[in-house]
Amino acid sequence: MRAMEAASRRANREAERQWKAEQKAMMIADASDAVAEWCEHLRDIVSLHVDPTDDVDWQSLRDQREPVEPKRLSLNEEEAAAALDSFKPKFFDFLVGGSEKRRMKLVSAVEDAKISDEIESRNRIKRYEQEHLDWQIDRELATRLLAGDASAERDVISEMSSWNDDGLVGTRLEFSISDQFLHAVAYVHSDDVVPTYRRKQLQSGKLSETKMPIGERNELYQDYVCSVALKVAGDLFSVLPRNEVFVTCTASMLDSVTGHMADTPILSVQFVRPTFTSLNLSGIDPSDSMANFNHNMSFKRTKAFSPVQALQKMPS
């Protein structure tokens, strides 16, 4: 009995040790995941500009050749007819019902081939008609855009399926478009988009969270806002032939005159294509890169953004 009790106690101690080891491993894995998630979020909010929308070559779209209407083909019929023309009775035809029965199968095959050719021809015509319609639409839109038609730019912008990156760009985008300028206004998120804490994994494997210094948090928010501006400008340059776009980032701030929260410009930039395309987007600091362009931004590390004047008229 004493031996059995001792064995039971050893088994219980081993089970408890195993349970504690599993719990510690789970704690370490959870802490690692939490730190990785925190780091990934910080990377995401300051690198929105790194992967702009794919470029559209409007000149190539305007100059592309008109699709050629397909000719009606009768390859199946010709092949079946050739088989019928070469038909010759054979001695063993009686095994399959006689020579006439075999010949009638070939005659029927010709009719089936005609139907098959007709179906294939209709499908080719249908594809051609869609291709020709797409060609007409693309060519007309490209012609209008390259001629500086502002309404064509509105059409392109309205067709953009996603102007944000998983919602990080902000709550909405508005545009003011004329022959003289294109002005995009991004309603960015508040500084809540930046965590108020730092995360790291201690040597023991435990998760450590400490308060993020206000200056560091403000600088991260500044990089986020500037990354949004770069993202919007890059997407516009990708899909429109404009060589200049204005981007203003607006945030909800307390209006000291009314005492209410109001959408307030905090960054306004005049982006020009040659300078923008010369940037190594994956290597720049978003805030520092604003020095390449005419811009209005009032920022202090201890107080973050102050209201500024937009460089162009805001959309009404």
- 10-residue mean pLDDT profile of the chain (316 residues): values are 69 74 82 90 93 84 85 66 59 51 62 71 82 89 89 84 64 88 93 92 88 94 96 93 95 84 93 96 95 96 93 85
Q: What angle do CA 173, 177, 179 make, to 5 degrees?
A: 160
Inter-residue contact 168 to 227 (CB < 8 Å): no
Q: What does the pLDDT read at residue 91?
A: 46
d(CA 187, CA 305): 14
pLDDT at position 124 is 78
How far apart CA 163 and CA 271 sit, in angstroms, is 18
Contact indicator for 215, 302 with CB cutoff of 8 Å: yes
Hey, what are 62's tokens?
A: 């305007």
- Rounded to whole angstroms, the Cα distance separating 102 from 108 reads 10
Question: In the chain, which residue ranges form alpha helices assigned H by DSSP?
Answer: 2-46, 58-63, 75-85, 99-146, 150-159, 214-239, 273-277, 286-289
Asked whether the beta carbons of 229 and 247 are under 8 A apart, the reply is: yes
CA distance 3 to 11: 12
Residue 2 has which token pair? 């004493």
